[in-house]
Each structure stands twice: as structure tokens, then as C-alpha cells.
Structure 1
Amino acid sequence: MLRRRISTPSHRTGPTECEESQGSVAAGLRQGSERKYFQGFFIRIGARYRRIRKRPKGKPLPQLYAYKSEKLQELEIQANDGLIDLYFGDESHICTEGYVPYGWQFRGEDVYIPSQRGYRLNIFGMIDRNNRYEGFTTDESITAEKVADFLDRLSMIITKDTFVVLDNASIHRGRIFAELRPVWEKRGLFLFFLPPYSPHLNIAETLWRILKGKWIRPADYVSTDSLLYATNRALAALGSELHINFVHAA
């Protein structure tokens, strides 16, 4: 009777556990087939799986946006024909907190970025569609005076009319810029301001995204020195070892 009492529950629970296991497998297969079905459905109706962009809350005025977009396209054509140089400028920063959303990891491997506050490397950079890069880095704040000094020195070495595309940040619209623009234009350096709320028109945004998400590795955040080296090396290698295809990376 003891054996019968012990064995009876096993006969009752065995099929139940088997049924539950089979149910789990079936549910997993259903989920996989449903996922493939929805993927196929969206593809058939013309949808694509793409990166979700960040956009400002505000929207540009339609008339201003259309006008600026048309003028920017004209500059792009002139640059493509070699008549002018066209750079896209912007500010960004790298900090020791890290920006690496995803990375390859082996099973059992603990990949992490040390969480630390403190150091921040600020960048002002300009890039064209041929991956020519000009800029500077500093551990101090990026000010209108620093950017104006950089552009002033650039205006003295350019060899053809050069246009720099900028957003409407306050440091680009201050008194020192207003005073120096006539001087720069006499030297052949011109500023082109994007319409408000239009960062997607500035290819420098693509540069910052790839720099932080691809070229700087998790291991580079181990120390401040390694982070500085990796950042400056990547920016220096633009156009020679590192390239961005802005048509596909936008």
C-alpha cells in the first residue's frame, strides 16, 4: 500500500507535466509564427523596420522650412559640383557615464560600463558629405567665443567659398557672431542657419550617433584616458580609416 500511495501521484502528475511542457512548446511556436506573420504583413504593406528617431517637440513653420530646405539643396548641388565647400557643424559631448546601448556578449560574460560621474569632453565639430572633418575638443564649456575663434581661424585658411550649416543655438546667434560675420564673409566663410526644430537636416547629428554608438567601445569607458584617446582617435581617423555613408546612415 505504501508503494501504491507513492506511485499513484506519479501516474497522475506525469501526464500533466508532459501536457504542460507540450503546451509551452506549442505556445512558443505560436508566438514565433505570429511574429513572422506580423513581420511579413508589415513588409507586404510597405512598412520597414527602422530606427525610431528623436525629434524636437516643436515644428518648423512650413514656409520657412520649405525655403531653407530649398536653399540647402542648392548648396548641396554646388558642393557636389566642387564650386563650394559645405560643412555641417554642431556641438556634442562624451562623458564617462557612457553611451553604449547594445553590444555583443558571450553567454556568461558580464559586459558593463563603469557608472561614474565627473568627466565630460565637449566637442564642436564640422563634417561634410565626403567625411572631411574639422573641429576641436575641450573639457571646458563650449562658448560662443570658443566657436567664433575656431571659425575665425578657419576663415583665414580656406581656399574657396565655404558654407557652415548650424542650428539656432544661442551661442550661434550671439553678439560676437553678428560682429564677425561680415569679416568672415569677406574672407569667403558664410553661415547658413537651419530652420528651427530641424536637427534631421544636419548630418553632424549622424556623426555623433555613430561616434557614440559604434566607434567608441564599452572598454573605452574604463578610464578617462582611454575614453579621450578613443574619441580623439576616431575623429582624427574620419575620412581616412573611418567613413560614414550618409545616404544609408541618416
Structure 2
Amino acid sequence: MEVGYLDESGFSLTLPPTYAWGRRGEAKGVPRAWGKEGRVNVVGHLVRGREGERLFFALLEGPVRWEVLRGYLDRVAESLGKPLKVFMDRAPFHRCRGVEERKGVWRGLGLEVAYLPRYSPHLNPMEGVWRRVKGFLMPRRHYGSVEELKEAVVQALKALGGVELKILEEGTYLGVGYDYRFDEKFYVGGGVTFAPLFLLAGTWPLYPTVHLGVYLY
């Protein structure tokens, strides 16, 4: 099983200033955009396996919500080649009902979702990815449009070897699952996954699953 770490980050038209050279006696100015307009949000995960580290990401349309997270993890689960256990922080939308109800389906496809300890961003390597992107790979501190900003974010992440994913639209990947927790440590569950897109590839779109596992926290 491979291990992954997931996180989200936001990029504004005006990024925090760093350092710049200027002529002596002349103040260096940087344009600034105020408010929430012109923001690009990104979700990504870093996988660590025998082949080394692999980075994946997706640009988000609008704010980060649990529906977006679920769609991203749907996309990850659908494309898995090996079982993956992905860790993320304990943000409320990471642990909401909509996400919890999907876990049975993801387990059946080889994706396990787990959580990092509280107040431990230093344990998530994706934090380092965001720092490198914002601090070194995007030297320009102001962008004139959202499209310019998107292009810069994508180029920076691809410079780190990142692969861009397209989040599955609601309705293209469906499933039902249920986990029964019979004590503080163990659970048993099952589910059925229905992927209509698989019909186009001529493969069977229904996947019944049964799983037994242990909560690790």
C-alpha cells in the first residue's frame, strides 16, 4: 500500500511580497488586488511509494467545499493502480457526513482515508509543496487576471512533476457504502460502486465490495 498526503491551498492575484532589487533611493512598488475576487483554489496530494514521490492536483472552480473534496477523491479512487492510504488534516469539511458516507465506496476501490493528529501541519508534506510554489516557483507577486494566475499555478506545480486531475462531475461516479463499527477499533462494511463512464470502455460498471478494517487514530 502506498501512502499519500492531501491538502488545499489558495492563491490570490497579489501574493505576499518577498524580496526584490531596486535602484538606490527608489521605493519598489507592487500592485495589489483587494478583496476575495481573483482567487484560485487548489487541492492536491503527494504520494510516496517505491517509485518515489508523485504529485497530483486539481484547480477548483469556486471555494473549497466537501463536495469538491469528495469529487477529487472519487477521481483518485477511480484511477488507482495500487492501494493508497491518504492522510489529511481534521478540517470540518474533511470529516463531514458527505465524506464519511463515501468511505465505504472508496475502500472497495483501494482508497483509505485517514486523518493526521490535531494541530500538526508539519506532518503533512503538502505544506512544503505550497511553500515552494508560492515562495520560489511563482516569483511574480501580482497577476493581472485570474487566467494569468491559473496558468502560473499550473506551471509551478508541473515544474515539481505535478499531474493535473479533472474532478469528476456529480453523477459521473456513483456509489453506496456502509460501515458498521462494532467496537472502538474495528469495523466491517460493504458497498456497491456504479461508474457509468466505465460503460464506454466496455467494462462492467458495478463493483460489489466487502471489507474489514481497523481504525488508526
The TM-score bracket by the shorter chain reads 0.5 to 0.7
Secondary structure of the corresponding residue to residue 62 of structure 2: coil
Amino acid at match of 1:125: G
Q: Work out the CA distance in 2 between the residues paired with 1:111 and 1:229.
A: 25
Secondary structure of the corresponding residue to residue 126 of structure 1: strand
Q: Give the superposition deviation at 1:138.
A: 2.0
CA pair 220-115 structure 1, distance change in 2 beyond 3 A: closer
Q: Give the superposition deviation at 1:127.
A: 1.4
**Aligned with residue 120 of structure 1, among 18, 39, 44:** 39
1:88 is matched with which residue? 5
Q: Give the superposition deviation at 1:99.
A: 2.1
Q: Give the superposition deviation at 1:198.
A: 0.7
**Aligned with residue 161 of structure 1, among 69, 76, 83:** 83
| 1:163–1:192 CA contact under 8 A, matched in 2 | yes
Q: Give the superposition deviation at 1:89.
A: 0.5
Q: Give the superposition deviation at 1:132.
A: 1.4
| 2:13–2:143 CA contact under 8 A, matched in 1 | yes
Q: Work out the CA distance in 2 between the residues paired with 1:206 and 1:186.
A: 31
2:199 is matched with which residue? none
Percent identity reads 31
Amino acid at match of 1:236: K
| 2:66–2:96 CA contact under 8 A, matched in 1 | yes
1:248 is matched with which residue? none
Q: Work out the CA distance in 1 between the residues paired with 2:143 and 2:46.
A: 25
2:129 is matched with which residue? 207
Amino acid at match of 1:155: A
Structure with greater proportional strand content: 2
CA RMSD of aligned residues (A): 1.9
Q: Work out the CA distance in 2 between the residues paired with 1:171 and 1:199.
A: 17
2:117 is matched with which residue? 195
- In structure 1, list runs of 5 or more residues that go unmatched: 1-83, 241-250
Which has the higher Rg, Structure 1 or Structure 2?
Answer: 1
Q: How does 1:141-180 map to 2 (within 5 A)?
A: 141-180=63-102
CA pair 95-156 structure 1, distance change in 2 beyond 3 A: same
- Larger deviation: 167-176 or 135-144? 135-144
Q: Work out the CA distance in 2 between the residues paired with 1:150 and 1:224.
A: 22
Q: Work out the CA distance in 1 between the residues paired with 2:7 and 2:148.
A: 24
Amino acid at match of 2:5: F
Q: Work out the CA distance in 2 between the residues paired with 1:157 and 1:203.
A: 22
| 1:131–1:238 CA contact under 8 A, matched in 2 | no
Deviation per CA, 1:163-186: give whole Å up to 9, x if none.
111000011101111111011111
Q: Give the superposition deviation at 1:225.
A: 3.0
Q: TM-score, normalised by structure 2?
A: 0.66
**Aligned with residue 107 of structure 1, among 23, 48, 73:** 23
| 1:167–1:193 CA contact under 8 A, matched in 2 | yes
| 1:90–1:125 CA contact under 8 A, matched in 2 | yes
| 1:113–1:222 CA contact under 8 A, matched in 2 | no
Q: TM-score, normalised by structure 1?
A: 0.57
1:218 is matched with which residue? 140
| 1:132–1:238 CA contact under 8 A, matched in 2 | no
Q: Work out the CA distance in 1 between the residues paired with 2:39 and 2:47.
A: 25
Q: Work out the CA distance in 2 between the residues paired with 1:181 and 1:239.
A: 28
